[in-house]
Amino acid sequence: MRISRLRWLVGTISVPCLLLGLVFFTASLMPSLIPRGPAVQGILGGVVTAIGYLIGRIFGLLWRAADMPRLSGRHAAAATAMTALGLVPVFLWVLLYSRVWQNDICEQACKIDPLEG
């Protein structure tokens, strides 16, 4: 009974949309010119992942509304698995190095003295 209530509340989860959200999360971990603390990075990563998932859902809705052909069965599972096999190693690599990148950016920002001019 609880699972059916949870499914009603959350709905079905789209794996391709989740993978697109993972791409967006990976992009949020890439270095930028502004150093971010762990809390800000976590909030930013969550928001960006949700935006990526939402874009995937909207794209899927428009795809179905245009009555375009869809993959199903083994073909859909194979396409999802191949995408995940390509994406997960990249995600893990970025996840491992994101802290190093942020620390390097922070060190560079701390070396610059705005009063020296």
Mind listing the pLDDT tens digit for each residue in 64-100?
Answer: 888 888 778 888 888 888 888 888 888 888 888 887 8
Mind listing the pLDDT tens digit for each residue in 38-66?
Answer: 888 889 889 999 999 999 999 988 988 88
More confident of the two residues 23 and 36: 23
Task: Flag whether pLDDT at 19 surpasses 80.
Answer: yes
Q: Per the structure block, which two tokens stand in for 103?
A: 């620390």
Q: Per the structure block, which two tokens stand in for 48?
A: 């960006």
Task: Flag whether pLDDT at 106 surpasses 80.
Answer: no
Task: Flag whether pLDDT at 114 surpasses 60.
Answer: no
DSSP 72: -
For residue 89, CA distances in Å to 77, 82, 85, 113 come to 19, 12, 7, 38
